[in-house]
Structure 1
Amino acid sequence: MYAQNYARTYRANSILTASPGQLVLLLFDAALNSLAIARKACDESVTDPRKLEVVHSQLVKAQKIIAELQGTLNLEAGGEFARTMYRLYDYYDRRLLEANLKKESAPIAEVERLLGEVRNAWSEMLRQQEGTAPQAALHHVA
């Protein structure tokens, strides 16, 4: 019980004290976590109603997070790169919708892999340039 309270407090504090760039990274991590849960549930059994509900709820959660990431893109300042990311997020959403309708894990795995690459690139950029213009140009993080 106490461990859960400490974990919840730690998560809340990490969000409240995170930089805008780190908040974007937390969104990537949350989406990837939901995708992993959905893929695992989908692989385990597509006939178990409880597993189907897990797949559905986790995919919807990931789609909402991806929509939030897409919504924070600064298309004016980010130029062609931000527009490309916008289209990529659209692609992720369509693939997850397909995965949810068909209850197939392949599209989930694809989005998980692609989003993981974007997440790792974002993380690397934060390590190299925390608080600089390239980060602010892509997402509304200032």
Structure 2
Amino acid sequence: MVLRNPYQTYQKQAVNTSKPEELTLMLYQGMVKYIRLSKIALQNQQIEDSHHYNLRTQDILSELMVTLKQEYSIAESLLRVYDYMKIRLIEANLHKKIELLEEVEQFAVQLTETWAAAMAINKGQN
């Protein structure tokens, strides 16, 4: 009998039962979290950990990129923003520059806040 981590079970259940817009918010929040963890690791000279968190952030961006619905006019603009963020993350990872992580973090926080506000507006209209 394998005991599961209750938090992992909760997370999996949350993902399986969430609406698409909630999943997008979770991805944005995860991106902010992993960028911050990468920064902390880099500040503490934990290069492998920083690299790991940076790659997790890149994975989230890749997921956001492939799930964009091209029929919406904003999709092309978001794709360019995601692509730019990914390029900057790669540069930050190669050159170990916290400033680049901070730049991407600003974008990620803005995206998270904007998405959360849009969800709140949409909820108020329904």
TM-score above 0.5, yes or no: yes
Unaligned residue ranges in structure 2 (runs of 5+): none
* Structure 1 residue ranges (4+ consecutive) displaced by more than 6 angstroms after TM superposition: none
Unaligned residue ranges in structure 1 (runs of 5+): 46-50, 133-142
Q: Does 1:56 align with 2:47?
A: no
SS at match of 1:78: coil
Name 2:69's counterpart in structure 1: 74
Offset of 1:6 from its aligned partner?
Answer: 2.6
Q: Deviations over 1:37-70 (max 9, x none)?
A: 001111122xxxxx11011111111001101101
Aligned amino acid, residue 25 of structure 2: L
Offset of 1:10 from its aligned partner?
Answer: 1.8
Name 2:38's counterpart in structure 1: 38
Name 2:78's counterpart in structure 1: 85
Q: Does 1:99 align with 2:60?
A: no
| TM-score under structure 1 length normalisation | 0.80
| TM-score under structure 2 length normalisation | 0.89
Name 1:140's counterpart in structure 2: none
1:109 to 82, 102, 105: 102
Offset of 1:11 from its aligned partner?
Answer: 1.3
Query: Relative CO higher for 1 or 2, CA cutoff 8 Å, sep ≥ 6?
Result: 1
Name 1:139's counterpart in structure 2: none
Percent identity (aligned): 27
